[in-house]
Structure 1
């Protein structure tokens, strides 16, 4: 099975970062490039425009990014443009950043609750996650979803723990539907 474009380029960047002990600096550069693309959507449209020549696109990338990021990061961007992969630049860099977090054993947790958590409750949730997982730190993202009624939903990667009242009511409803009278 073929690797996804973002995995191919992201893995190459990750391997380079580890080999050269530049994981943190390339992680930060990837974040800056992602932010630049997200803040300037017209730049992405320009790179994808069929009437703009490839050499012109490569020159644009070089002129804009070479003064802010390393030659390796600029080289990756130019390579992706030269191979018509510019639509996948942001996805590739996001993939790379996730690989770095996994490498450093930093998890990303999304916690949804029916009501906002206090700072003490947030600290307790993060502490419990650190105890029960192999991660040494977490990037915590909290959101409020009143439809949960109570409890919480925690998502880390593709794992989900749903202890919400809404989920329990749904389970009970499904069980009751199976009862034959």
Structure 2
């Protein structure tokens, strides 16, 4: 359900942004509103509270955001509140941001390594990703996890390339187990 909500509202905002040639403006506004909500948990609690009536929530939205962001974005937030989906507003905004990135061929890559990578290694990874994907640029996120022992795990969207030593050892263990099972079956 949450995925449907984020897709429905995110797609609607994206289409309006394209139609009105306001993609950059809406992107900046969405990021600002998302940051404001993320930073103000009391606002989120108020807007999500079941005992606060919708009309009061809509008034809060208008008081906070009218005149600061476009009327289209205020209207979208009002609609989300009116339909009782405020809890999913973060996923709506994340979906919209992801759609804009996809439209502009900007990839987001999450790279996990066992050790901290040098700038040269990071540059080589990004260069290789640009050569092997449709993206023209990447937002790179690096993480160190000693548990992978060595190699890299790279995630772009729902695609994962796992060349970690941990995974290779697990695969080898699984293969050896199969061999042992087959050898055990053949014994008299």
Superposition TM-score, scaled by structure 1 size: 0.96
Q: Displacement of 1:52 after TM fit?
A: 1.4
Is 2:143 the counterpart of 1:143? Answer: yes
Is 2:79 the counterpart of 1:87? Answer: no
Q: Displacement of 1:67 after TM fit?
A: 3.3
Distance 1:131 1:174 in 2: 33
Q: Which runs of 5+ in 1 are unaligned?
A: none
Q: Displacement of 1:144 after TM fit?
A: 0.3
- What pairs up with 1:25-40 in 2 under 5 angstroms? 25-40=25-40
Distance 2:30 2:177 in 1: 50
Aligned to 1:22: 22
Tell me the secondary structure at the aligned position of residue 28 of structure 2: helix
How many residues are aligned here? 181
Distance 1:68 1:116 in 2: 41
Q: Displacement of 1:93 after TM fit?
A: 0.7
Aligned to 2:186: none
Superposition TM-score, scaled by structure 2 size: 0.92
- What pairs up with 1:111-130 in 2 under 5 angstroms? 111-130=111-130
Distance 2:50 2:140 in 1: 40
Distance 1:148 1:83 in 2: 44
Q: Which moved more, 1:92-101 or 1:29-38?
A: 29-38
- What pairs up with 1:168-179 in 2 under 5 angstroms? 168-179=168-179
Q: Displacement of 1:62 after TM fit?
A: 0.7
Moved over 6 A (4+): none
Tell me the secondary structure at the aligned position of residue 169 of structure 1: helix
Q: Which runs of 5+ in 2 are unaligned?
A: 184-188
Tell me the secondary structure at the aligned position of residue 21 of structure 1: coil
* CA-to-aligned-CA distance 1:52-95 (integer Å, 9 cap, x gap): 12111101001111232111111110111111111111110110
Distance 1:48 1:74 in 2: 17
Distance 1:27 1:145 in 2: 32
RMSD: 1.5
Distance 1:28 1:126 in 2: 25
